[in-house]
Chain A
Amino acid sequence: MHENIIEIKNAAFFYDSETANAEAVIKNISLSVKRGSFVAVLGHNGSGKSTLAKLCNAILVPQEGKVFVNGMDTSDSSLTFEIRRAVGMVFQNPDNQIVATVVEDDVAFGPENLGVEPKEIRRRVDSALRSVGMYDFRGFPPHNLSGGQKQRVAIAGIIAMRTECIVLDEPTAMLDPKGRVEVMKTVKSLNRELGITVVFITHFMDEAAQADRIIVMDDGGIILDGTPKEVFSNKDTLRESGLDVPVAAEFADMLISEGIDLPKGILTADECVEAVADAAKKRGLI
């Protein structure tokens, strides 16, 4: 058992590597993802996030450096099957990744391709659908589902393969607020309850703030790496990189610069309410 499920060592990746002026989309990245962790990846469009994701399960193989999944080298094509079994991917568009006409058939697609026994498939499909909260919809045609429900079916399809790690590439970008919350809740519970490692690519700061660790990418490299509190304290770096800063953090900063005594590291609305209420109490206002 490897402590780091994904280990990227000095990886560089170029699209069109044949052409003379090929520019690296991934530039000498080293990164390890601990088993059981929840890592969010932030970065503007073109920063290399999706390419990084595809390096994690051998959809792409770096031209320089190495990527290991459970110690398996992704450049060894004889291991690709095992690597994909360990790390599954969910993509942005809920309509592009459902293959069957009934929800439970779609979830069975992965295990069927792995040659799992029919009885075992049945068990896995049921438990996968239960863990994403879609069991009651098992007989539905996917086109009758909302975007958030479709993404949860896609996630169930991955965990039915007994995947240890899920890489989600902007799974909430095309969803409405309700769908976003559904998907986030599902992914969090898979991480906490089943111990599945999660790599979650997103543009939404409120989602990233719920991870254990945030990696910020820009121009093919990692510019920030740390806990949400650590990363969001680098407000200028985030802004320069075209990213948002959480509203509560921004607002707390405004108040601090006006001389109001608030603690550092406020990220969420609740923390901000707490801190401002404390300051008000000290002044005898409430």
Chain B
Amino acid sequence: MTPVIKAENLTYIYGEKTSFEVAAIKNINIEIQKGDFVGIIGHTGSGKSTLIQHFNGLLKPNSGRVLLDGSDIQESKESVRAARFKAGLCFQYPEYQLFEDTVYKDIAFGPKNMGLGEDEISARVLRAARFVGINEELLSKSPFDLSGGEKRRAAIAGVMAMEPEVLMLDEPTAGLDPRGRDMILGLIKEYHEHTGSTVLLVSHSMEAVARLASKVLVLNNSAVAMFGTVSEVFSRGRELMEMDLNVPEITRIFIGLRDRGLPVAASVYTNEQGRDEILRVFGEVAP
């Protein structure tokens, strides 16, 4: 099967040929399969945002290429344009980018640029709004009259309304309270299950990645440090901690227990797995 995204020897340099020259990503090779839910983790400055901006053609690599559904994004002007719609990107703090005079127009902006007909645009706007829980009566309001959480959801709806094959979100829960965070994460999960599309989630929250993703991509110093299933990656929790990255709190507890000599598995990343693992180990002793 052709991977939906394939990065080949991807390198991007900011400020090339200036004294500020710095490689944001270096020689990245990865394949993302259709329908994958990939959590992307790494420090600020590790190249996470730079990498995903290559996947919809916003950035042009200095060397290497990105294949979207098997064809090079940068092949032509048309292919770059097509990539924008195929891979929808929702930036960090997307509510700062709301700009139209009504919520409806703001959500419709993407589909309109795709050149869709009015009926199709309206159907998509209503569908996306309903999906993120924006009531129909809010659609005629100014986006600036919405609450913080509503603004964030309206902005995400604007990307979802393009119905991209790949939905990319850069820190979609930054700055939200736990309830707002859980609501957004729930929406993304539902979107993934409902549409079967590929989702890339950039996040500092290991808990969120552990809960939602099927695979984890770890970037460190502009390169791929790990890429694998959630349990493969978190079972290397100690290496992650050595990179000064967080691991889910439950994973940290199990690393501690292994250090104490308790023979528990290394790949625990949810509380339920943890409970079962403790019961398994404790149950081995005859009462």
Give chain A's interface residues, CB within 8 Å of chain B. Answer: 44-45, 92, 146, 173-174, 176-179, 203, 242-244, 246-248, 250-251, 254-255, 258, 260, 269-270, 272-273, 276-277, 279-280, 283-286
Q: Is there an interface contact between B179 and A44, defined as CB atoms closer than 8 Å?
A: yes
Q: Look across to chain B and name the residue whose beta carbon is closest to the beta carbon of A148.
A: B44
Residues of A within 8 A of B282 (CB): 260, 279-280, 283, 285
Taken residue by residue from 249 to 287, chain B's Cβ proximity to chain A (1 for < 8 Å, 0 otherwise) reads as: 110110011001111000000010011001101101100
Q: Look across to chain A and name the residue whose beta carbon is closest to the beta carbon of B45.
A: A146
Residues of B within 8 A of A283 (CB): 282, 285
Q: Is there an interface contact between B256 and A273, defined as CB atoms closer than 8 Å?
A: yes
Residues of A within 8 A of B179 (CB): 44-45, 242
Q: Is there an interface contact between B278 and A255, defined as CB atoms closer than 8 Å?
A: yes
Shortest beta-carbon contacts, A-B, top 3: A273-B256, A242-B179, A247-B249
Q: Is there an interface contact between A243 and B178, defined as CB atoms closer than 8 Å?
A: yes
Q: Is there an interface contact between B178 and A277, defined as CB atoms closer than 8 Å?
A: no
Among A174, A243, A273, A286, the residue within 8 A (CB) of B174 is A174
Q: Is there an interface contact between B250 and A247, defined as CB atoms closer than 8 Å?
A: yes
Q: Look across to chain B and name the residue whose beta carbon is closest to the beta carbon of A92.
A: B175
Among B175, B245, B253, B263, the residue within 8 A (CB) of A174 is B175
Q: Is there an interface contact between A254 and B285, defined as CB atoms closer than 8 Å?
A: no
Q: Is there an interface contact between B177 and A203, defined as CB atoms closer than 8 Å?
A: yes
With most chain B CB atoms within 10 A of its CB, the pick from A45, A176, A248, A286 is: A45
A203 to B205, CA, bound (A): 13
Q: Look across to chain B and name the residue whose beta carbon is closest to the beta carbon of A244.
A: B178
Report A179 CB to chain B, min CB distance, Å. Answer: 8
A selection of 19 A-B contacts at a CB cut-off of 8 Å is A44-B178, A92-B175, A174-B174, A176-B204, A179-B44, A242-B177, A244-B178, A247-B248, A247-B249, A247-B271, A251-B250, A251-B275, A254-B274, A269-B256, A276-B253, A280-B262, A283-B282, A283-B285, A285-B281
Q: Is there an interface contact between A248 and B246, defined as CB atoms closer than 8 Å?
A: no
Q: Is there an interface contact between A251 and B274, defined as CB atoms closer than 8 Å?
A: yes
A272 to B246, CA, bound (A): 18
Q: Look across to chain A and name the residue whose beta carbon is closest to the beta carbon of B182.
A: A242
Report B179 CB to chain A, min CB distance, Å. Answer: 4
Report B224 CB to chain A, min CB distance, Å. Answer: 20
Q: Is there an interface contact between A250 and B271, defined as CB atoms closer than 8 Å?
A: yes
Question: How big is chain B's contact interface, by range?
Answer: 35 or more
Number of A-B residue pairs at CB separation under 8 A: 95
Report B7 CB to chain A, min CB distance, Å. Answer: 24
Report A47 CB to chain B, min CB distance, Å. Answer: 9
A250 to B274, CA, bound (A): 11
Taken residue by residue from 166 to 190, chain B's Cβ proximity to chain A (1 for < 8 Å, 0 otherwise) reads as: 0000000011111110000000000
Give chain B's interface residues, CB within 8 Å of chain A. Answer: 43-44, 148-149, 174-180, 204, 207, 244-246, 248-250, 252-253, 256-257, 260-263, 271, 274-275, 278-279, 281-282, 284-285
Q: Is there an interface contact between A247 and B207, defined as CB atoms closer than 8 Å?
A: yes
Residues of A within 8 A of B284 (CB): 285
Q: Is there an interface contact between A270 and B256, defined as CB atoms closer than 8 Å?
A: yes
Q: Is there an interface contact between B257 and A45, defined as CB atoms closer than 8 Å?
A: no
Report B146 CB to chain A, min CB distance, Å. Answer: 13
Report B219 CB to chain A, min CB distance, Å. Answer: 13
Q: Is there an interface contact between A173 and B43, defined as CB atoms closer than 8 Å?
A: no
Q: Is there an interface contact between B246 and A177, defined as CB atoms closer than 8 Å?
A: yes
Q: Is there an interface contact between A277 and B260, defined as CB atoms closer than 8 Å?
A: yes
Q: Is there an interface contact between B271 and A285, defined as CB atoms closer than 8 Å?
A: no
Report B222 CB to chain A, min CB distance, Å. Answer: 16
Q: Is there an interface contact between B177 and A45, defined as CB atoms closer than 8 Å?
A: yes
Q: Is there an interface contact between A285 and B262, defined as CB atoms closer than 8 Å?
A: yes
Q: Is there an interface contact between B252 and A269, defined as CB atoms closer than 8 Å?
A: yes
Report B261 CB to chain A, min CB distance, Å. Answer: 4
Q: Is there an interface contact between B275 and A269, defined as CB atoms closer than 8 Å?
A: no
A260 to B277, CA, bound (A): 13
A146-B44 CB under 8 A given contacts A177-B204, A251-B271, A258-B279: yes
Residues of A within 8 A of B174 (CB): 173-174
A89 to B149, CA, bound (A): 24
Report A193 CB to chain B, min CB distance, Å. Answer: 25
Residues of B within 8 A of A284 (CB): 285
A242-B178 CB under 8 A given contacts A176-B43, A176-B204, A250-B271: yes
Residues of A within 8 A of B245 (CB): 177
A277 to B258, CA, bound (A): 10
Q: Is there an interface contact between B253 and A173, defined as CB atoms closer than 8 Å?
A: no
Q: Look across to chain B and name the residue whose beta carbon is closest to the beta carbon of A203.
A: B177
A45-B281 CB under 8 A given contacts A92-B175, A269-B256, A277-B262: no
A240 to B284, CA, bound (A): 37
Q: Is there an interface contact between A273 and B253, defined as CB atoms closer than 8 Å?
A: yes
Report A53 CB to chain B, min CB distance, Å. Answer: 15
Q: Is there an interface contact between A285 and B177, defined as CB atoms closer than 8 Å?
A: no
Q: Is there an interface contact between B262 and A254, defined as CB atoms closer than 8 Å?
A: no
Among B44, B180, B262, B278, the residue within 8 A (CB) of A45 is B180
A280 to B282, CA, bound (A): 7
Q: Is there an interface contact between B278 and A260, defined as CB atoms closer than 8 Å?
A: yes
A284 to B261, CA, bound (A): 12
A177 to B204, CA, bound (A): 7
